[in-house]
Amino acid sequence: MRPPTKRSWAEPFKIKMVEPLRMTTRAEREAALTEAGYNTFLLRSDDVYIDLLTDSGTSAMSDNQWAGMMLGDEAYAGSRNFYNLEAAMQQHYGYKYLVPTHQGRGAEHLLSTILIKPGDTVPGNMYFTTTRAHQERAGGAFVDIIIDEAHDPASLHPFKGNVDLGKLEAIIAKVGPKKIPYVSIAATVNMAGGQPISMANLRQVRELTKRHGIRLFLDATRAVENAWFVKQREPGYADKTLKQILLETCGYSDGCTMSGKKDLLVNIGGFLALNDWDVFEEARNLVVLFEGLHTYGGLAGRDLEAMARGIVEAVQEDHMRARIGQVEYVGEHLKALGIPIVQPVGGHAVFLDAKAFFPQLDQLQFPAQTLAAELYLDSGIRSMERGIVSAGRDSKGEHHRPKLELVRLTFPRRVYTQAHCDVTVESVNAVWENRQNVRGLKMVYEPKHLRFFQARFERL
């Protein structure tokens, strides 16, 4: 036997407990999807077979995390689990101060409220839905400064999360540094396809913003996944640990917002981390209004403990090799079938290119929403629209028309097996083979905020 050239991504864990799934018929799925207004967010999870809606809060905790749940100190103030989380954050992310929040958008709410004034501009490497919504709610205007390659699903750029420094300089020159409270940098970039930012680029962004006295805040939600790509792709990082890379990443920022529901392997939790005492003081005060006392931020002591332990597990290389290896496995198999996906394959998800799937559909016939619906009908797999519906409307009420019209197959961490991955590939291929017969959707109900969550559609 020839020795294998590449080792498999096999999981560094075994399964101790299982959660049965309900298998459904096509007729049952037709009824469920009609009831849900062709929006996968409105399906009941009992009607879903393989749930690839999101990797947010859907990962499997380890036995060590569950054991930590039993050690929750549910004191109203000064829980020991808060101090455990604070220490784990300081050791792995390197920031001085911690404000726990119930999840990522709680931290975004605090940061935006404290730093953004009406009329301000917040440049960022592509928008994220909740992040931009909070920036706009505080009176700011988001400006996209990501490189052009990020908007091209076929570009093989290894760091499609990078900032275009020319775009950033231009916006600073246009509005002036005083109107930019901070630059908002995500690592990895979710809406671009889970694409990483390179350390070299982040360092340059830091130097540029520092020259103008502008703060830099990181969305560190998937920064450990970003560290994995830096280690694989960026010269000089192959021998560094994920922990070292993560510390360096955070070192180029003044703080971070964090959704612990992703990298940190918990079902609920987040935090705002800061280096600046003044901002911390305000956040620690404000959190009491919106989330809870500054030592629990809307979380139970046991949730704080699970997140503290999740930080340590997230930076283990065996874990990350399997986590991203699984996503790559699905991406490679889809590519081999000629199915259009965003390349390179990102950290948390494979993104299907719905425009290339359904060239017969106008963007206002919602190609990605349609593709997510067809995939559910075929096999009960639930995915998420990341196109014109997610992008929402601008301040004049017009649809944002994003270049990327995508469907996200998002992989929860440590949840599904390789056989689930194979079924997913087979089902996407079945929809691909029937693509010419598919018609689009029309929106029949549109909520005001973050419409993708609750919008309803009908078949054209």
Binding interface with ligand PLI (CB under 6 A):
54, 56, 103-105, 128, 130-131, 186, 190, 219, 221, 259, 261, 270
Cα separation, 79 vs 84, in Å, equals: 9
Instruction: State the catalytic residue, choosing from 13, 22, 34, 76.
Output: 76
The CA R_g of the chain, rounded to the nearest whole Å, is 21
**Nearest CB to ligand PLI, comparing residues 24 and 51:** 51
Structure tokens at 277: 């005492």
CA end-to-end distance (rounded Å), the chain: 55
Burial of residue 230 (CB within 10 Å: 0-12, 13-18, 19+) is buried
CB of residue 130 to ligand PLI, shortest distance in Å: 5
**Nearest CB to ligand PLI, comparing residues 128 and 142:** 128
Residue whose token pair is 């019209």: 405
| Active site annotation includes 262 | yes
As beta bridge partners, residue 124 has 144, 184
Burial of residue 167 (CB within 10 Å: 0-12, 13-18, 19+) is middle
Give me the residue whose beta carbon is nearest to ligand PLI. Answer: 104
CB of residue 291 to ligand PLI, shortest distance in Å: 12
| Active site annotation includes 403 | no
3-state SS string for 100-120: EECCHHHHHHHHHHHHCCCCC
Length of the chain measured in residues: 460
CB of residue 97 to ligand PLI, shortest distance in Å: 20
Instruction: State the catalytic residue, choosing from 51, 219, 254, 303.
Output: 219
**Nearest CB to ligand PLI, comparing residues 131 and 295:** 131
What is the DSSP annotation of 25-78? -HHHHHHHHHHTTT-GGGS-GGG-SSB-S-SSS-SPPPHHHHHHHTT----SSS
Strand ranges inside 368-459, DSSP E: 384-386, 406-410, 441-445, 456-459
| Active site annotation includes 452 | yes
CB of residue 433 to ligand PLI, shortest distance in Å: 28
| Active site annotation includes 76 | yes
| Active site annotation includes 129 | yes
CB of residue 103 to ligand PLI, shortest distance in Å: 3
| Active site annotation includes 382 | no
Cα separation, 33 vs 373, in Å, equals: 7
**Nearest CB to ligand PLI, comparing residues 189 and 315:** 189
**Nearest CB to ligand PLI, comparing residues 102 and 355:** 102
**Nearest CB to ligand PLI, comparing residues 15 and 289:** 289
Known catalytic residues are 76, 128-129, 219, 262, 386, 452
